[in-house]
Every structure is written in C-alpha cells, then in structure tokens.
Chain A
Amino acid sequence: TQLLEQSPQFLSIQEGENLTVYCNSSSVFSSLQWYRQEPGEGPVLLVTVVTGGEVKKLKRLTFQFGDARKDSSLHITAAQPGDTGLYLCAGVLSARQLTFGSGTQLTVLP
C-alpha cells in the first residue's frame, strides 16, 4: 500500500496546456518534496515545502503544501515538451528517509 497517492498516474497533454498533479496521504509529514526523474537517471529535487499552506513557485511550476501537511499539489502553467518526465512527491520521514508517492508520468506533446 502506497503511503502517498498521486493522481493522475499518467497524463498526456499538448504543449501550452496547464496541469495539476496531486499528492495525498493520511499521514502528516514534517516536510514534503517534489522530484522530477528522467528515464535511467536518479530523481532531481524540484522543491521542498515545510509549512502548512506554503506556496512555492519555480518559474512555471507552483507547489502548494496543504494546511494539515498531508497533501500537496504541483501546478504547471503552459507546459512544454521539456517538462516531460516522471514527477514524484516524497514525504520526509525521520533521518532523511523518504517515502515516495506513486508517481505521475507526464508527457507533453509538441
């Protein structure tokens, strides 16, 4: 059973469209991270959110941490083909151990 559930699991959209990926859990995390991963490579950290209700922006990406620190969302504005990849949320547990979400495979078509 996945501790963190992501939705949607797969998403294929046209260039220029907006999208939102959700990450939900019944557990409370001290912080939550979002990663993007290319095939055959390790995941790359995009952002860490710590405070309930926190919103962080990274160019066209907007990350939000739920007030109760159980859920998070990633919104991409005007998606580009370069945004294609596997997006993973991860709850930070003790000793920097991560529990990863189920993942969202995003494909942006030109």
Chain B
Amino acid sequence: GAVVSQHPSRVICKSGTSVKIECRSLDFQATTMFWYRQFPKKSLMLMATSNEGSKATYEQGVEKDKFLINHASLTLSTLTVTSAHPEDSSFYICSASIGTGNTIYFGEGSWLTVV
C-alpha cells in the first residue's frame, strides 16, 4: 500500500478560487515533506520544503503567498493554491522520508485543472 498518500488525486476549480491538496504520511512521522510541481512530460521542480511546526522554505521563484504550505502535524502537510489561475494547472507531488533513511516516498500526485 501507499506510504505517502495525496488527496485529492484530481481537482477542477474555477479561476480565482482556492484549492487545498493534502499529503499524508501513513504509519510514520515526517518532520519534513517536499512539494514538487510537474508539467506534462517534464521533470519535477521542487517548490518548497515543508517543515513541521515552522514556516515552509520556498524555492526561488515560487510565490509563498500564492502557494500556502501548512505542516500542522507530523503526518500531514497541505498545499493551498490561492486565487488559482489557468497557468497554475499542473501535477503536484509531495514526498517524505522515514526518519533519517535515504528512501524517499512519493505521493500519487494531484492533478489540478483551473478553468
């Protein structure tokens, strides 16, 4: 079964609205999770590092006020796309690791379509 689970897997929203994507670690605690964005047939681009109990660290060029990340518990990180626009349509993927191990588990991804 999935070690890291994302929800929803697909979401369609109207321009100007906000949408929340959840990333859960199953049966383990993740102090750090990562959020990636991916366009069709392109590679994954790191958006931000989600830190439990503190502010997320955003990569250069990623608007922190547009992509709100909350890591309220050791098993849940959320990515909220605020005031969504069609250009925000993309595949969003999260990842997490168990403890200090080097194995990185990815969620199933979430397709966002903004119409």
Partners in one complex: yes
Chain B, interface SS category:
strand
Cβ distance B53 to chain A, nearest Cβ, rounded Å: 15
Complex CA gap A33/B104 in Å reads 10
Contact status of A48 and B102, CB under 8 A, knowing A95-B32, A97-B34 = yes
Say whether B106 faces chain A, with CB atoms less than 8 Å apart: yes
Complex CA gap A99/B91 in Å reads 17
Say whether A45 faces chain B, with CB atoms less than 8 Å apart: yes
Interface string of A9-47 (1 = CB under 8 A from B): 000000000000000000000010100000111111100
In this complex, how many residues of chain A approach chain B with their Cβ under 8 Å: the count is 25
Contact indicator A86/B34 (Cβ below 8 Å) = no
Say whether A92 faces chain B, with CB atoms less than 8 Å apart: yes
Contact indicator A98/B102 (Cβ below 8 Å) = no
Interface string of B38-60 (1 = CB under 8 A from A): 00111111100100000000000
In this complex, the member of B32, B41, B104 whose beta carbon has the largest number of chain A beta carbons within 10 angstroms is B104
A residues with CB within 8 A of B: 2, 6, 31, 33, 39-45, 48, 86, 88, 92, 95-103, 105
